[in-house]
Every structure is written in structure tokens, then in C-alpha cells.
Amino acid sequence: MRKIKDILMNLMTYLFSSFGVLILGTILVFVFSNGFSSLSWNLLTSDYYETVYTLKYETDNTLGVYDNPNLNDSYFSSRWGVAFQDTTNNEGDSVIIISYLDPLSPLKRMTNGATDGIASVETNQVVTKVILNDEDSNLIIGLAKNGAEEMAQDFDKGIVITNLVVTTSGGGIRGSLLTTLYMIVLTLLIALPFGIGGAIYLSEYAPDTRSTRILRNMIDMTSGIPSIIFGLVGAIVFIPFMNNVIGSTGGSIASGALTLAIMLLPIIIKTTEESIKTIPSSYRSASLALGASKTQTTFKVILPNALSGILTSVLLSIGRIIGESAALIYAVGTAIKDNVAIDENSTTLAVHIWSVMSGENPNYELSYSISIVILFMVLILSILVKLITKRFNRYEVK
């Protein structure tokens, strides 16, 4: 009878745990298989917004015959020394990009239509439209929808470019990536001193009275409040506060960091307090018996030994900061920015996903790619924290 019960129990344990692993694995495989195709270095480093340049080239002195680099899938215009390639941009639309530019190409010495200055096209820029004149002053109009091959042929026909529209490839997440890093650093800078200080007070100094018990319970309850409520508090309290303090207008990274810091305080206090509790009281009495003051004991013995707990709380906090969207939508805003500044609004990666998914055509592939970036960020930061913990715990004997 007992044997059957044991087998049943074991079976259930295996079943449920394998089910959990399976679901986790499926999610990972799903995200990776969908997001990997559009994940590229270009995505990480390029701006979200396209910049349009209108350029022209009027003299025909240096037009000549340039050597074809014979790139795969590229079509070369030997008269202008430029190759075009059909590809898709970060948002999944098909575009023509400049895949090669001869060092002597006249396209490097063009005139910017807007500023009349010298301007150059760059490789990887997107060509949307070109208007050329041939020897007999006939107009040739090349459009992106006709493909790279025809674009190259159009270029070869003309001797004067009256209008060339190129754009930098957009849809990148460089700004959001930077914002996320800013947000992590700033939030931890605010939250850690208060959190650790609070934990030290609660575990070392606070008397066990009614008021401290209420305080403890309130900290526990705060960790259960939905983050969107913190977002509302951030919008109502911290945005005006930051507007007054650092002169920002509307939501900013600073107001978001302040909101997140308040949200993370209970986690940091709880984890740190728990790890302080596990420190043997014999360390405390040994230190005091050596004539050390209570403050010295706290900072020389208690805190260094609580470090692994503190770093765990840092890790949990980083996870929350990277993953938080609801609070930041209110406390910062949802406008994606390329130029990131602490006193301006911009989006973290999670809010970036929210932004690209909440438009008229949700962009699933980009979202999955950003998800992969987020996963890797968490992974790298966890490894970093583990390494730091190991470095500081070198005197522990396992």
C-alpha cells in the first residue's frame, strides 16, 4: 500500500516538474524562433526614427567606370560606383539599401538639397527614390518598389542626379536599450541606499514595538501593490516633483526611476533583512566583545556578510526594472526616443514592445527580437552579479 502511494507521489512530482520545464522551454523556443530572424547588430545600434536626406549631383566630370565588387544579391551601377541590394528593414518591409560604395564614387560628393552643403550617401542607407537626367536631358525616375536591379539600371542611364532620396534605416532600439540601462543604474542608485538602510534599521536597531510591527506589515503589503498603481502615483507625484527639481517637462527617466525605486524598496528591504537574519549572532557578539561599537559591527561584520542577500535583491530589482511596463507608461510615457536624456521621456525595452504592439499594425517580429535582447540582458546581469557575489564570498568555506 505504501509502495503504491510512494510511486503515485513520485509520478506526480515528475509530471508536474516536467510540465513546468516543458512550458518554459516552449516559450523560449517560440520567442527565439520568431525573433531571431530580425535580430541583428543593426537593430541594436540603429535609431528608431528614419532621417531623410534629399541630395543632388550636377557635374559630370568624374563619371567613369568603376570596378564591380561582385557582391552576392547586389546590382552594380558602374557609372556611379554604387551597388544596390533588396532587403527588409527592422520593421519587416522590403527596401533597397546601398550595399557598396566605391571610395571615389561621385555619390560621396553630393549637395544636400536642404542645406546646400556637401553631403555623402553611406552604405546601408535606404534608397527610396531617384530622379536623373540622361545625355539628352530626358527624365529618368527610379522608384524603390521596382527593385534593386532596375534601380542600378536607372542609375547607369543618367549623368546628372537632380533628386536622390535616401533614409537611414530606422526601427532600431538603440535609444530604448540606453534608456533601460539608465533606468537600471538610476533606480538602483536611489533605491539601494534607502533599502539597505531600512533593512539595517529594522533588523539591528528597531525595537520590537507595535509601531515597528505595523511598519513591517506595511512593507509586506507594499510589495503586493500592482505596479500600475505605482505608475499613477508616479504620474501624480513624481512627474511634478521632478519638473520642479530638475526642470523637466512631463515624464522623464528621472521620474520613472523614482517611481520604480519606491516600487522596489519593499523587495530590497525584505531580501536584505532576511539575509541579515541568517548571519550567526556569534559574529555579532564576537565583534562587540572585541570592543567594537555597534556601528562598526554593523558595517564591518554584518553588512559584508549580508552582501550575497543584497546582491540577490539587486538581481531581483534589475529583473523588475527591465520587465516593468505598466508603471513606466504612466510615470514616463510611451514615446520612443533616439536621443536619451535623464530629464526627458523615452521608453525602456519593455515599453518599446508595448509601443510597437499598440499601434495599428502590431509588429510581432520586432517584439520577439526585443524579447530576446531582454532575456540576454537579464542573463548577462545575473552572471555579473553571481561573479561579484563569488568575489566577495571568497572567505566562505563551502
Near another protein by CB under 8 A: residue from 136, 291, 359, 361 = 291
Near another protein by CB under 8 A: residue from 77, 85, 272, 287 = 287
Total residues in contact with another protein, by rule CB under 8 A: 21
Whole-Å CA distances, 331 to 231, 267, 323, 348, 354: 5, 20, 15, 12, 15
117/258 Cα distance (integer angstroms): 44
190/185 Cα distance (integer angstroms): 9
DSSP-assigned letters across all residues of 139-162: EEEEEGGG-HHHHHHHHHH-SEEE
251/347 Cα distance (integer angstroms): 11
Interacting stretch for another protein, rule CB under 8 A, among 39-47, 124-132, 192-200, 275-283? 275-283
Contact between 170 and 89 under an 8 Å Cβ cutoff? The reply is yes
Interacting stretch for another protein, rule CB under 8 A, among 120-128, 174-182, 236-244, 387-395? 387-395
Of 108 and 284, which CB lies nearer to another protein in the complex structure?
284
Q: Which helix (H) or strand (E) holds 179?
A: helix 174-200
Nearest to 199 by CA among 218, 224, 221, 216: 216
Q: How far separated are the first and last CA of the chain, in Å rounded?
A: 41
| Minimum distance from residue 18 beta carbon to another protein (Å) | 39
| Minimum distance from residue 309 beta carbon to another protein (Å) | 14
Near another protein by CB under 8 A: residue from 115, 280, 361, 391 = 280
Near another protein by CB under 8 A: residue from 1, 4, 65, 289 = 289
By CB under 8 A, residue 51 contacts another protein: no
Of 364 and 392, which CB lies nearer to another protein in the complex structure?
392
Residue partners of 69: CB distance under 8 A and separation at least 6: 76, 83, 100
Of 90 and 305, which CB lies nearer to another protein in the complex structure?
305
- Scanning the structure block, which residue is given the C-alpha cell 536607372? 154
Grid cell locating 141: 525616375
Interacting stretch for another protein, rule CB under 8 A, among 25-33, 141-149, 288-296, 362-370? 288-296
| Minimum distance from residue 287 beta carbon to another protein (Å) | 7
Of 308 and 325, which CB lies nearer to another protein in the complex structure?
308
Residues 293-332 that bind another protein (CB under 8 A): 293, 296, 300-301, 305
Residues 84-103 that bind another protein (CB under 8 A): none
Burial class (CB in 10 A: 0-12, 13-18, 19+), 156: middle
By CB under 8 A, residue 367 contacts another protein: no
By CB under 8 A, residue 283 contacts another protein: yes
| Minimum distance from residue 389 beta carbon to another protein (Å) | 13
Near another protein by CB under 8 A: residue from 40, 51, 285, 358 = 285
Near another protein by CB under 8 A: residue from 23, 286, 379, 387 = 286
Of 45 and 285, which CB lies nearer to another protein in the complex structure?
285
92: left (phi over 0), alpha (psi -120 to 50) or beta: left
By CB under 8 A, residue 4 contacts another protein: no
By CB under 8 A, residue 395 contacts another protein: yes
Contact between 350 and 332 under an 8 Å Cβ cutoff? The reply is no
By CB under 8 A, residue 376 contacts another protein: no
Whole-Å CA distances, 152 to 70, 73, 86, 142, 155: 13, 12, 11, 9, 5
Residues 53-72 that bind another protein (CB under 8 A): none
238/256 Cα distance (integer angstroms): 8
Give the interface with another protein as residue ranges (CB under 8 A).
Answer: 280, 282-283, 285-293, 296, 300-301, 305, 393-397
